[in-house]
């Protein structure tokens, strides 16, 4: 085992996993988003029908998850930029917790505004 790589119990490993999973989730969402945008080109009725469907509470929960993924991916990307351009300090491990907390707060604020 290469000792230079973080172990699976290390916070940086879980930050790595969160960044990859959030990126995959956003990549999966993108075609659906483009499809919904294409409904606007088909006409007002098609888009209105879809927008009525989005009032479903489960869709609101899924939207909240999407916002959390987006915030987590953005915060993780900012953390990676800090790692690339700043010298390593022990306090940077705290950035992982801050990034995770930021993502959850953004998602909860979105959820409160969605209802």
- What are the residue ranges spanned by the domains of the chain? 13-114
| Angle, CA 103 vertex, CA 100 and CA 105 arms, to 5° | 110
Mean pLDDT over each residue of the chain, to the nearest integer: 82
pLDDT in tens, 11-48: 778 888 888 898 998 999 999 989 988 888 888 888 88
How far from 16 is each of 62, 83, 114, CA to CA, in Å? 23, 12, 29
pTM for this entry: 0.67
In residues, how long is the chain?
115
CATH level 3 topology of 13-114: 3 helical TM bundles of succinate and fumarate reductases (1.20.1300)
Question: For tokens 């990126």, what's the residue?
Answer: 23
What does the pLDDT average to over 63-82?
A: 85
pLDDT reported for residue 52: 92
């Amino acid at each position: 085992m290469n000792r230079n790589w973080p172990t699976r119990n290390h916070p940086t490993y879980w930050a790595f996993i969160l960044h990859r999973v959030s990126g995959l989730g956003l990549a999966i969402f993108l075609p659906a988003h483009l499809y919904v945008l294409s409904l606007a080109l088909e006409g007002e009725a098609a888009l209105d029908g879809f927008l009525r469907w989005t009032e479903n509470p489960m869709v609101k929960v899924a939207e909240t998850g999407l916002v959390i993924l987006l915030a987590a991916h953005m915060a993780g990307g900012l953390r990676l930029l800090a790692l690339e351009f700043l010298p390593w300090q022990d306090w940077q491990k705290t950035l992982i917790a801050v990034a995770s907390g930021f993502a959850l707060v953004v998602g909860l604020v979105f959820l409160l505004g969605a209802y």
